Amino acid sequence: MMRLEKARQQKKNRIRNRFIFRTVILLILVGAIIFALVTNAKKDKTVYGVGDEAPDFVLEQINHNNELEQIRLSDFRGKGVMLNFWATYCKPCEAEMPYMEQLYPEYKDKGIEIIAVNLQEAKLVVNRFVDRYDLTFPIPHDNRGTIRDLYQIGRIPSTLFINADGIIVEKVEGALTLELLEGYFNQILPE
Judged on CB neighbours under 10 Å (0-12, 13-18, 19+), 90 is: middle
Instruction: Give yes or no for a cis peptide into 157 (omega within 30° of 0).
Output: yes
The pLDDT assigned to 50 comes to: 86
The Cα angle at residue 190 between residues 118 and 101, in degrees rounded to 5:
35
Residue 105 to residues 24, 26, 99, 180, Cα–Cα distance (Å): 66, 63, 11, 17
Q: Which residues of the chain have pLDDT under 70?
A: 1, 39-46, 62-67
The pLDDT assigned to 179 comes to: 95
Give backbone dihedrals phi and psi of 121, rounded to 5 degrees, phi first. -120, 160
Judged on CB neighbours under 10 Å (0-12, 13-18, 19+), 85 is: buried
Report pLDDT digits (tens) over 83-102.
999 999 999 999 999 999 99
The pLDDT assigned to 61 comes to: 84
Amino acid, single-letter form, for residue 179:
E
The pLDDT assigned to 100 comes to: 96
Name the 3-class secondary structure at 51. Answer: coil
Amino acid, single-letter form, for residue 108:
K
- pTM > 0.95: no
